[in-house]
Amino acid sequence: MDTTLQDPLVGQVLDGRYRVDARIAVGGMATVYRAVDTRLDRELALKVMHPALATDVSFVERFIREAKSVARLAHPNVVAVFDQGAEGAYVYLAMEYVAGCTLRDVLRERGALQPRAALDILEPVLAALGAAHRAGFVHRDVKPENVLIGDDGRVKVADFGLVRSVGSVTNTTGTVLGTVSYLAPEQIESGTSDTRADVYACGVVLYEMLTGTKPHTGDTPAQVLYRHLNEEVPAASALVPGLAVELDELIASATARNPDVRPHDAVALLAQTRETRADLGDAQLDLVPPRAVTGASGGPEGPADAEARTDVIPRVLPREEQRVSHTARLAMPPAAPAGSPRPGGRPGLPRRGIVAIVVAVLVVFGVGAGVWYINSGQFTRVPALIGKSEGDARRQLESAGLEVREVRREFSETVERGTVIGTDPATNERIRGNGSVTIVVSRGPEIVRVPAVKGDPLATAEDKLRKAGLSPGVVTREFSEDVPQGLVIGTDPAAGAGRSPDSAVALVVSKGAPVEVPDVRGDAVEEATAELEGAGFVVKIAPEQVNSPEEAGTVARQSAPEGARLATGDTITLTVSKGPRMVAVPDVTGDSEADAKRTLEEAGFEVKVEKTFPYLGSTVASQSPSADGRAPEGGTVTITIKGL
């Protein structure tokens, strides 16, 4: 049955402009429709938030953040966002329409892919994410459902609905938003994510493309989360015999449980992926997965619709002992019946019997024990922490025998960022001696101004940004005639612009005035080195020499060509000549002029033709050097065509 006929939006025109023609897909937070922009007469996709969520300010903010973020990413592998608006209960994004399917559709239909096809999909995905990372954004929900493959073969990344600025922290209280099969361990454990979380998800997607299944499975999402936290992603070659070890290494690098070991962003992973492809032969790239793998479907969470869902997931508690106990319960088999043997052969005392004994002891000793416990100092009072730094507050609580339950961060127009503005329980309230306290820390004003850092060293500029409540973003380097090398030229956004706390600010650092590279080929190595160092470059000599037309002992090659513009301090590598290679001179006497030239040029020689007057001949009468001798490769052979 065509369920789009029952959708109240189909057939309507939103904002007097977008005619909704058909429903394409339904997700956890929004529905996607095929629509027509009646003003521009073009087909597009409308992503409409579920009306029930439109009253939730945080969801609406996330929706709008997606529009603004993706609008800044003009990249061929990112689904473009054209417009954002609202009409009544409908909040929507107008987006590029990609006719085709998702990577999830491909995996359901085909199962495991050949390595060449998997890399052909992964590389444009990484290019899109790399553009986002360098622009200061993290996607946070990379999965096959968000990879679109057009009918024309183009690959595009969609659904930046969970996008955040690089360096921002998701300070959730016991939950994290995402899809369990692709969450990095640090997202599960602490709720934090940066560019390396996207790198982890890409590694999982690559594993799934090569094997047709996900690396971590379980009967419940909780079991999958436990495995992400405690187990490495297995080698894909265990399921696909003959798969190149280089692909196993690529997956292992991207999915390292320690984020510090992974490539730092998608650009770095893309470079590593291209190196891996270059190391593989055609047979390795075109390996056909076994039929046992092909056609795998569903996923570790169970049915196919569950694997695609972006959910709010319980986050592992921050304290190590809580994490261990909680995750251990997820993996623990059901308790054995009363009286059944324990592992190891000894009969186990029924749990109910243990509880009964404990209760009986407490009943007998309850009164005396209770009086002793109260008199021994069961309660204490919350110390005064307001106005202290977060670190000082933590230390003072620890000294009082109390724990930090949670650190909550709130905006304050009057209190400096990082300073405690409140506690729960409040100052001087009575609390159990081993209790826990929530600290409320100032995030500073809701809008902070980008400080002026032009002319500062990079480290100083980054420190100023952090102190202002912003995050240092991508660093690019440009030539400047005015700003000395190593100092900041400017920022994006510019100084004085207002931004939300923790927003990323890109920095442009000066490479100094450009220096043109001279041509030192054919010069003695010492002379070439002196000339380049005098121009401000660092000179490196290649360890191996090469044959070249240049005289032995002189410079045969230089890594930067003549006229290239480099920065002071850049390195230029010189390769020393072993002199020309000596090759045999072919005999062309008696050949036609055209045949002689072709033979000599194929042997690596330049050809000079001499003719005597009156010229009536058509064949070579003589040559110099003579035939069957040896001459320097690249040298000149003179052929003479005599007249009558």
Yes or no: domain 102-110+125-331 corresponds to CATH 1.10.510.10: yes
The CATH class of the 448-510 domain is: alpha beta
Q: Could you identify the residue written with the tokens 């009156």?
A: 614
In 7-41, which ranges are E strands? 13-14, 18-26, 30-37
175-178/311-314 β-pairing:
antiparallel
Residue 489, amino acid: I
105-157 confidence digits (pLDDT tens): 999 989 999 999 999 999 999 999 999 898 888 888 899 999 999 988 899 99
In angstroms, what CA-CA distances link 241 with 236, 281, 293, 412?
9, 16, 11, 59
379-381/430-432 β-pairing:
antiparallel
Q: Specify the CATH architecture of the domain 379-442.
A: 2-Layer Sandwich (3.30)
Greatest CA separation for the chain = 135
Write phi, then psi, for 18 (nearest 5 degrees). -100, 110
Average pLDDT over residues 2-27: 82
**CA–CA dist 554, 47 (Å, integer):** 65
172-216 confidence digits (pLDDT tens): 333 444 578 999 998 888 777 889 999 999 999 999 999 999 999
Burial code (b: 16+ CB inside 10 Å, e: under 16) for 66-80 equals bbebbeebebebbbb
DSSP string, 292-319: TTTT--SBTTBSHHHHT--EEEEPPPSS
DSSP string, 445-510: -SSEEPPP-TTSBHHHHHHHHHHTT-EEEEEEEE--SSSPTTBEEEEESPTT-EE-TT-EEEEEEE
> Helix 266-279 and helix 245-254: axis angle, to 10°?
170
Residue 433, amino acid: G
What is the dotted CATH code of the domain comprising 582-641?
Answer: 3.30.10.20
**Taking the C-alpha atoms of 509, 511, 514 and 519 in order, what is their torsion angle to the nearest 10 degrees?**
-140
Write phi, then psi, for 57 (nearest 5 degrees). -60, -40
Token code pair at residue 90:
């409908």
Token code pair at residue 238:
């265990």
Cβ atoms of residues 95 and 79 within 8 Å: yes
**CA–CA dist 131, 163 (Å, integer):** 13
Cβ atoms of residues 449 and 417 within 8 Å: no
Cβ atoms of residues 241 and 305 within 8 Å: no
- Cβ within 8 Å of residue 503, ≥6 positions away: 136, 165, 168, 470, 471
> Helix 266-279 and helix 195-211: axis angle, to 10°?
30
38-68 confidence digits (pLDDT tens): 999 899 999 998 887 777 777 777 777 667 7
- The DSSP symbol for 180 reads G
- The answer to whether 141 is a known catalytic residue is yes
- The DSSP symbol for 95 reads E
Write phi, then psi, for 530 (nearest 5 degrees). -65, -40
CATH superfamily of 1-97: Phosphorylase Kinase; domain 1 (3.30.200.20)
DSSP string, 52-79: GGTT-HHHHHHHHHHHHHHHT---TTB-
Token code pair at residue 458:
């990079």
Cβ atoms of residues 254 and 263 within 8 Å: yes
- Which of 15, 37, 141, 311 is an active site residue? 141
Residue 465: which pLDDT band, with cuts at 50, 70 and 90? very high
- What is the reported pLDDT for 332? 32
Residue 234 has pLDDT above 50, yes or no: yes
- What are the counts of helices (DSSP H) followed by strands (DSSP E) for the chain? 16, 33
Residue 289 has pLDDT above 80, yes or no: yes
- Please tell me the number of Cα atoms within 13 Å of 408 on its side-chain side: 13
- What is the reported pLDDT for 302? 41
486-530 confidence digits (pLDDT tens): 999 999 999 998 887 778 899 999 999 999 999 999 999 999 999
In 189-230, which ranges are E strands? none
Between 264-268, 302-306, 558-562, the lowest mean confidence (pLDDT) is in 302-306
- The DSSP symbol for 91 reads E
- The DSSP symbol for 546 reads B
- The DSSP symbol for 238 reads G
The answer to whether domain 379-442 and domain 515-576 are alike in fold is yes
Per-domain boundaries in the chain: 1-97, 102-110+125-331, 379-442, 448-510, 515-576, 582-641
- Please tell me the number of Cα atoms within 13 Å of 170 on its side-chain side: 25
- Cβ within 8 Å of residue 596, ≥6 positions away: 588, 607, 620, 623, 639
pLDDT, greater one: 510 or 369: 510
* H/E segment holding residue 125: helix 115-134
Q: Specify the CATH architecture of the domain 515-576.
A: 2-Layer Sandwich (3.30)
